[in-house]
C-alpha cells in the first residue's frame, strides 16, 4: 500500500475510535437497553460526585431525550442526567412492534432502565423527571407494585395521571380562553362536546382539539423555533432526527386506542416517595389547574413549583429557574 493510503488509514482509524471516558466526576457513558424488540439508547452525562442521577422521561410520546440535552447544562454541572430515548422514540432503533406501545410496556421499560442504571452505578440514587407524556409513564411505573422504592423522588413537569381528567381540564381551558379571546367558533366547538370516560375515543378528534388549543395560545414556543438548536439537532448531536421522524409516525394505534385506557387516578394515593409538580403556568396543553387536581389525589407531601413565564416546556423558557428548582428538589431528597 502506498504511503498516502497508509496515512489515510491511520487518520481515519483514529477518527472512528470511540472516545474514552475521563477519570473525573463527570461521566459520559453511552448505554443501550435491548428489550422486547427495542434498542433504546441511554446517554448518561454530568457530575456523578454526589452519586445522583436524574432520569429524564421525555414527552411525545415518540419525542426524544438527548435532543433536549442543552437545556440541562446547569443540571449536569451538579448531578448526572440520564437521557433515555424510549421504545420507538427519538433515536431508539431495533425492530419493535408498534403494538408494544402500551402503558404497561412503557412502565416495564422504565423499570428495566432504572435497574440497568442501578447495575451500572450501584450506589447512585435515581430521580425521575417526567415531561408531559413522560409524566404518564412515571405515574404508570410508580403505581405499579414494587417500583416506586427503586427511585428517590419524582418531578412531574406538565403531565397527567389520567387521559380523561386531562381532556376535561383542557376542555375547560379552551372554553375559558375562547370566552376571554372572543373566539366563538372554538367556544361552540368545545361546548358541544359531551366528554365522558366511555366516549373519549369517539368524541376526541386530536387535530380539531389541538388546532383550537394552539390558536388560543396553548403553547406558542418550542425549542425547535431556535434555528441554532434545530441545526445542531440535525447535524451535531448523538440524536438522529431521521429516526425521530420515523418513530413519531408510528403512534396511530396509540392515539386511537391506548391513550384512552390511561387512568391511574385511584392509585396516586399509594405513592409515598417525594413528589414535586413543576408547571408552566401559561400552558394550555396541560393547564395548571391540573397540577392542583393532581396534588389533591396524592397523599405524599407534594409541592407545586410554578413557572410563571412558561407554557409546556419550562426547561426551555426558564432554564435557570428550572435547573435551580430541580437541583433543590434533588438536594433535599
Partner 1 sequence: MKRKHHRPGRIAALIIWLAVYLGFAHDAYAQNLRLAYFGETLTHYGLRGGMEYTLRHAEKSKSGGRISANDLYFGLTLTLYRHPHNHVGLILAPELGWRHIGKRGGIVQAALSPGLFRSFYEGATWRSDGDGRFERVPLAGQWGFLPGVSVGYGHRLGKAPDAPYSWCLNLHYLRQYPYNRSYLHRPAIELGIIKQTR
Strands 26-35 and 38-47: antiparallel
Closest contact distance (angstroms) between CB of 77 and partner 1 is 17
Applying CB under 8 A, does 31 fall inside the site for partner 1? yes
Cβ atoms of 56 and 80 within 8 Å: the answer is no
Inter-CA distances, 250 with 80, 84, 90, 99, Å: 31, 18, 12, 10
Closest contact distance (angstroms) between CB of 241 and partner 1 is 8
Applying CB under 8 A, does 98 fall inside the site for partner 1? yes
Applying CB under 8 A, does 145 fall inside the site for partner 1? no
Applying CB under 8 A, does 63 fall inside the site for partner 1? no
Question: Residue 231: in which H helix or E strand, if any?
Answer: helix 227-235
CA distance 50 to 76: 12
Q: Which of 3, 119, 145, 320 binds partner 1 (CB under 8 A)?
A: 119
Applying CB under 8 A, does 65 fall inside the site for partner 1? no
Interface size with partner 1, residues (CB under 8 A): 59
Q: Which of 3, 5, 149, 184 binds partner 1 (CB under 8 A)?
A: 5
Cβ atoms of 105 and 140 within 8 Å: the answer is no
CA distance 168 to 290: 10
Nearer to partner 1, 9 or 203 (CB): 9
Please tell me the number of Cα atoms within 13 Å of 98 on its side-chain side.
15
Nearer to partner 1, 92 or 135 (CB): 92
Applying CB under 8 A, does 77 fall inside the site for partner 1? no
Nearer to partner 1, 119 or 227 (CB): 119
Inter-CA distances, 187 with 178, 180, 183, 213, Å: 5, 10, 6, 11
Closest contact distance (angstroms) between CB of 224 and partner 1 is 17
Residue 35 is placed in which grid cell? 428489550
Instruction: List residues binding partner 1 (CB under 8 A).
Output: 1-2, 5, 8-9, 12-13, 15-24, 27, 29-35, 38-39, 41, 43, 48, 88, 91-98, 108, 111-112, 115-116, 119, 234-236, 238-243, 245-247, 249-250
Amino acid at each position: 500500500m502506498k504511503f498516502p493510503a497508509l496515512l489515510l488509514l491511520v487518520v481515519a482509524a483514529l477518527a472512528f475510535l470511540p472516545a474514552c471516558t475521563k477519570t473525573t466526576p463527570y461521566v459520559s457513558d453511552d448505554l443501550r437497553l435491548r428489550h422486547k424488540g427495542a434498542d433504546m439508547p441511554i446517554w448518561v452525562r454530568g457530575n456523578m460526585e454526589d452519586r445522583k442521577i436524574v432520569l429524564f422521561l421525555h414527552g411525545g410520546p415518540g419525542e426524544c431525550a438527548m435532543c433536549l440535552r442543552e437545556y440541562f447544562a446547569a443540571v449536569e454541572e451538579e448531578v448526572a442526567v440520564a437521557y433515555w430515548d424510549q421504545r420507538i422514540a427519538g433515536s431508539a432503533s431495533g425492530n419493535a412492534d408498534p403494538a408494544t406501545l402500551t402503558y404497561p410496556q412503557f412502565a416495564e421499560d422504565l423499570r428495566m432502565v432504572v435497574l440497568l442504571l442501578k447495575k451500572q452505578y450501584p450506589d447512585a440514587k435515581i430521580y425521575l423527571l417526567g415531561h408531559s407524556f413522560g409524566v404518564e409513564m412515571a405515574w404508570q411505573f410508580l403505581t405499579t407494585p414494587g417500583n416506586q422504592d427503586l427511585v428517590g423522588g419524582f418531578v412531574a413537569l406538565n403531565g397527567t395521571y389520567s387521559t380523561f381528567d386531562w381532556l376535561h381540564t383542557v376542555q375547560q381551558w379552551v372554553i375559558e380562553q375562547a370566552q376571554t379571546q372572543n373566539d366563538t367558533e372554538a367556544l361552540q366547538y368545545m361546548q358541544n362536546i359531551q366528554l365522558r370516560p366511555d366516549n373519549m375515543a369517539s368524541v376526541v378528534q386530536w387535530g380539531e382539539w389541538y388546532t383550537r388549543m394552539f390558536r388560543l395560545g396553548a403553547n406558542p414556543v418550542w425549542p425547535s423555533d431556535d434555528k441554532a438548536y434545530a441545526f445542531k439537532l440535525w447535524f451535531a448531536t448523538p440524536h438522529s432526527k431521521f429516526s425521530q421522524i420515523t418513530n413519531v409516525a408510528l403512534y396511530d394505534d396509540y392515539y386511537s386506542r391506548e391513550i384512552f385506557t390511561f387512568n391511574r387516578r385511584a392509585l396516586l394515593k399509594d405513592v409515598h416517595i417525594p413528589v414535586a409538580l413543576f408547571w408552566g403556568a401559561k400552558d394550555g396543553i396541560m393547564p395548571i389547574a391540573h397540577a392542583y387536581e393532581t396534588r389533591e389525589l396524592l397523599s405524599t407531601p407534594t409541592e407545586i413549583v410554578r413557572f410563571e413565564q412558561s407554557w409546556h416546556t419550562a426547561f426551555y423558557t426558564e432554564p435557570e429557574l428550572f435547573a435551580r428548582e430541580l437541583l433543590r428538589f434533588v438536594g433535599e431528597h
